[in-house]
């Protein structure tokens, strides 16, 4: 039983989706309990997987039993990094599913079953991408997760959601095609699709093959579109801010982060850090691009008046953090980038959950509408404050520690520009969030005459959100703090995957870490 | 903006071409893809493993069956996505579709073209039989669940084009095709789960020979491939028709083109 966990986590979600689809046609009310049950089981199983990896090392699961020679079948390969990211994905999925409860209450259309089918398949696709040990299988699950997210975003009520989803489809498809082309080039030169086998073949080629370089560039560009890295982020802000709240709460924390994870997996396992950092002279360029991404994302976030749009540009900046950290060729940079995948997932979840509650309870779209929110919705604001402090980087939260590791990496490897960009971005976050606190605590200046009157009439209507919305918000806030408190344990797990024999070719990273 | 596009295309094209001289020669028997132990294994061991002469089907439905299962899910998602987006606010209760008293139907009957009607009557059964052949022979000759499913779905689409969407939807209403689409994936994954329950890894068909004592492991693999192809065909045919019905009627599922 226990050795079947890697497949069970996907099957639970797949059968959850199929059951929701089949029984949801008969009775819509079963959709929500079924979805939450499936996701809870997935969380339980992914905890089991994490325990198994901690105790027994890397899990290699050969689907169909095709284990020899390696590469004829598909391998699922889980080390501590995937296990942690997998747990993040299923947890975010579960919390957002609980949050979507009020959607079910309101939405009397027949779309509810379809929504949950797509939702569960999205979580399944992301989980499958993370645990896959096969470059092509990863593409198949990338398709599953992309198609479901396009549909979920297009289901928004406003017409702008449809156009935003359309540009997302075009960009996302281009990104996926680039990835697939890259995998094709890899296969051309290595003759296998299994990640470990590709790595062996690349080592045997001794860095002389231009095909491998082109393959890497194609995969990198494809993933950069998927993760909304700076110049290629155009699809993100509209897609994430015009879709329904329950969609944005799952898509915004997970899609870009899984893109970053796949990039790191490609660097660590498929191409190998020696090849990536020594053979390929791109690292300096990519850190430079990451600096631009961080600064541009922060500046554009400053210019926003809408709450969700502001968070979207902050995501662009956060992606810059992780890409820069991963490309510093430094141990702590890599650790920080991987740790930040998790902490940023929960921070973004917290932000978007709060934005969803504000939108639902008070119709807040713009930042200045948050007037007096501490008084009207104290619990929601408490959760929001924790998330905001993490985004700024205040000590007990995980946001502080991921920045700490990233800055340490930047200092050791001498990327001072990156360190400065990270600090500027933190200051910008402080400005942004303290402005929100100010509006929400002290209220707006009573300048506008009729606007004030309007507000007055709505004050009595605004109530605290119901339990199904507050539980996920407070849970995500608690996780943010817990991730921060237990940061050394998590980093120890990440290092285990980086240093040990679990991921090959880490000697470059540890070596350079020592020099700094 | 056009110039930006042109530069991007030229850059991508140049990138793709830049590795050309590193490629293995065309048809080179010693190229990495041909000489790898993986290809060798498929060529040498497929018959031994499963007795399936069509190596391509053996790879997609047995060795890399896990991918194919998710490809079937992708097809399902495509259909579900179109329904989720187009059937917006369309509150007609399922099954309570207006009876054929509606005027357009009778108009259709009057103007029913005898040539089109007769051709469809002749063509549709043949198409459907051919679809079953393609599905059932997938592991022996070119074909399989995706191809057969598309042919099967086409036969319904042909009926919808020739006689109008309403009569076609009477034969295959929305509740039914959605159910068929889901059941297809259920069939596929059920084969995998059966292997799991019998104590082997997911989709390790060989162990299914326990269920039918007259067959050995290789035969079990061969039959399971047929089984999962049937599942694929269920999903693909239903989704083909679902996509046509929804797109042709803008999600109203009435009238059609």
A110 with B87: Cβ contact below 8 A: yes
SS3 A156: coil
**Cβ under 8 Å to A: B residues 7-66:** 15-16, 18-19, 21-24, 31-39, 41-42, 62-66
Question: What is the distance between the alpha carbons of residues B129 and B125, in angstroms, rounded to a whole number?
Answer: 6
Measured at the CA of A496, the angle between CA A493 and CA A423, to 5 degrees, comes to 65
Nearest CA in chain B to A194: B38
Tokens encoding B7 = 């530069």
Chain centroid to Cα B68, Å, comes to 10
Q: Which residues contact B3 (CB under 8 A, 6 or more apart)?
A: none
Domain boundaries, chain A: 1-133, 134-280, 282-516
Q: Which residues contact A423 (CB under 8 A, 6 or more apart)?
A: A407
Look at residue A512 in the predicted model and tell me its pLDDT. 43
Q: Give the distance between the most distant pair of CA atoms in chain B.
A: 69
The DSSP letter of residue A500 is: S
Q: Is the pLDDT of residue A457 over 70?
A: no
Tens-digit pLDDT profile for residues A78-103: 989 999 999 999 999 999 999 988 76
Question: What is the distance between the alpha carbons of residues A2 and A202, in angstroms, rounded to a whole number?
Answer: 33
Question: What is the distance between the alpha carbons of residues A128 and B48, in angstroms, rounded to a whole number?
Answer: 31
Q: Is the pLDDT of residue A405 over 70?
A: yes
For range A380-384, the mean pLDDT:
91
Tens-digit pLDDT profile for residues B147-200: 999 999 999 999 988 888 888 888 888 889 999 999 999 999 999 999 999 988
Q: Is the pLDDT of residue A364 over 90?
A: no
Domain boundaries, chain B: 52-87+116-257
Instruction: Produce one character per residue of A237-274: b if its CB has 16 or more CB atoms within 10 Å, e if not.
Output: bbbbbbbbbbbbbbbbbbbbbbbbbbbbbbbbbbbbbb
Look at residue A446 in the predicted model and tell me its pLDDT. 53
Tens-digit pLDDT profile for residues B13-24: 999 999 888 888
Chain A partners of B35 at a C-beta cutoff of 8 Å? 191
Prediction pTM value: 0.92
User: ω into residue A69 within 30 of 0, thus cis?
Assistant: yes
Q: Is the pLDDT of residue A506 over 50?
A: no
- In chain B, which residue ranges form alpha helices assigned H by DSSP? 2-18, 32-35, 37-50, 55-58, 65-86, 103-110, 114-136, 145-163, 165-171, 174-197, 217-248
Name the pLDDT band for B72 (thresholds 50, 70, 90). very high
β partners of residue A78: A59
Q: Please say whether the beta carbons of A211 and A188 come within 8 A.
A: yes
User: Per this entry, what is the length of chain B?
Assistant: 257
Smallest Cα–Cα separation from A312: which of A296, A324, A334? A296
Query: What's the ipTM?
Result: 0.90
Q: How many CB atoms lie within 10 A of CB A501?
A: 8
Tokens encoding A310 = 């502001």
Crossing angle for the helix pair A80-99 and A331-362, nearest 10 degrees?
Answer: 0
CA distances (Å), origin A189, targets A72, A242, A510: 17, 43, 29
**Cβ under 8 Å to B: A residues 41-100:** 61-66, 69, 71-74
Structure-token match 């970053």, residue found? A260
Q: How many CB atoms lie within 10 A of CB B164?
A: 20
Mean pLDDT computed over every residue of chain B: 85
Chain A partners of B92 at a C-beta cutoff of 8 Å? none
Whether residue B252 lies within 8 A of chain A, CB to CB, comes out as no
SS3 B77: helix
Structure-token match 């598909």, residue found? A74
A191 with B22: Cβ contact below 8 A: no
Question: What is the distance between the alpha carbons of residues A420 and A403, in angstroms, rounded to a whole number?
Answer: 12
A71 with B38: Cβ contact below 8 A: yes
């Amino acid at each position: 039983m226990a050795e079947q966990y890697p497949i069970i986590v996907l099957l639970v979600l797949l059968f959850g989706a199929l059951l929701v689809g089949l029984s949801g046609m008969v009775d819509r009310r079963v959709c929500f309990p079924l979805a939450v049950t499936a996701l809870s089981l997935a969380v339980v199983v992914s905890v089991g997987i994490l325990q198994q990896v901690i105790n027994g090392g890397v899990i290699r699961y050969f689907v169909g039993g095709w284990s020899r020679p390696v590469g004829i079948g598909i391998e699922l390969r889980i080390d501590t990094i995937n296990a942690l990211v997998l747990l993040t994905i299923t947890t975010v999925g579960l919390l957002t599913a609980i949050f979507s409860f009020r959607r079910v209450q309101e939405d009397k259309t027949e779309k509810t079953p379809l929504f949950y089918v797509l939702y569960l398949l999205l979580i399944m696709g992301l989980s499958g991408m993370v645990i896959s040990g096969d470059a092509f299988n990863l593409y198949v699950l990338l398709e599953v997760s992309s198609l479901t997210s396009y549909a979920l975003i297009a289901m928004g009520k406003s017409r702008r959601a449809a156009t935003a989803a359309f540009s997302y489809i075009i960009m996302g498809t281009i990104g996926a095609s680039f990835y697939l082309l890259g995998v094709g080039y890899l296969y051309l030169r290595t003759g296998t699709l299994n990640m470990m086998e590709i790595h062996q073949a690349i080592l045997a080629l001794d860095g002389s093959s231009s095909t491998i370089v082109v393959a890497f560039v194609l995969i990198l560009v494809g993933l950069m579109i998927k993760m909304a890295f700076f110049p290629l982020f155009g699809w993100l802000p509209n897609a994430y801010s015009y879709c329904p709240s329950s969609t944005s709460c799952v898509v915004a924390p997970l899609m870009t982060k899984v893109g970053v994870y796949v990039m790191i997996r490609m660097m660590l396992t498929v191409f190998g850090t020696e090849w990536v950092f020594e053979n390929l002279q791109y690292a300096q360029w990519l850190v430079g691009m990451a600096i631009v991404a961080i600064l541009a994302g922060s500046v554009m976030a400053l210019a926003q008046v809408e709450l969700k749009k502001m968070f979207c540009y902050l995501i662009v900046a956060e992606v810059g953090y992780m890409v820069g950290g991963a490309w510093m060729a430094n141990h702590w940079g890599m650790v920080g980038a991987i740790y930040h995948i998790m902490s940023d997932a929960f921070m973004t979840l917290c932000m978007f959950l709060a934005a969803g509650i504000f939108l639902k309870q008070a119709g807040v779209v713009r930042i200045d509408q948050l007037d007096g929110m501490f008084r009207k919705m104290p619990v929601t604001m408490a959760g929001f404050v924790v998330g905001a402090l993490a985004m700024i980087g205040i000590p007990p939260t995980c946001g502080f520690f991921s920045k700490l590791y990233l800055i340490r990496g930047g200092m050791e490897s001498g990327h001072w520009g990156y360190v400065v960009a990270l600090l500027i971005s933190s200051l910008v976050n402080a400005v942004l969030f303290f402005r929100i606190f100010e509006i929400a605590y002290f209220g707006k200046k009573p300048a506008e005459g009729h606007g004030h009157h309007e507000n007055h009439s709505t004050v009595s209507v605004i109530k605290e959100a119901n339990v199904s919305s507050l539980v996920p918000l407070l849970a995500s806030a608690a996780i943010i703090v817990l991730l921060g408190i237990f940061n050394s344990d998590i980093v120890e797990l990440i290092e285990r995957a980086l240093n040990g024999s679990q991921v090959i070719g880490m000697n470059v990273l540890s070596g350079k870490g020592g020099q700094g | 903006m056009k110039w930006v596009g042109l530069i991007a295309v030229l850059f991508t094209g140049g990138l793709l071409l830049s590795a050309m001289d590193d490629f293995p020669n065309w048809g080179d028997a010693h190229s990495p893809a041909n000489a790898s132990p993986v290809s060798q294994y498929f060529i040498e061991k497929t018959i031994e493993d499963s007795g399936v002469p069509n190596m391509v089907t053996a790879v997609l439905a047995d060795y890399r069956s896990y991918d194919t299962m998710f490809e079937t899910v992708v097809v399902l998602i495509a259909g579900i996505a179109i329904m989720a987006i187009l059937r917006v606010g369309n509150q007609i209760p399922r099954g309570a579709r207006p009876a054929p008293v509606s005027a357009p139907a009778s108009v259709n009957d009057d103007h029913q073209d005898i040539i089109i009607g007769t051709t469809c009557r002749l063509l549709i059964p043949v198409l459907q039989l051919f679809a079953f052949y393609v599905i059932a022979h997938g592991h022996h000759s070119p074909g399989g669940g995706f191809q057969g499913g598309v042919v099967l779905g086409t036969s319904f689409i042909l009926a919808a084009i020739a006689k109008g969407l309403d009569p076609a939807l009477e034969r295959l209403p929305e509740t039914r095709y959605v159910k068929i689409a889901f059941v297809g994936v259920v069939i596929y994954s059920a084969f995998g789960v059966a292997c799991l329950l019998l104590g082997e890894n997911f989709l390790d068909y060989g162990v299914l020979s326990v269920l039918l004592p007259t067959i050995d492991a290789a035969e079990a693999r061969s039959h399971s491939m047929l089984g999962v192809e049937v599942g694929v065909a269920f999903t693909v045919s239903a989704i083909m028709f679902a996509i046509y019905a929804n797109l042709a009627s803008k999600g109203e599922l009435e009238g059609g083109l």
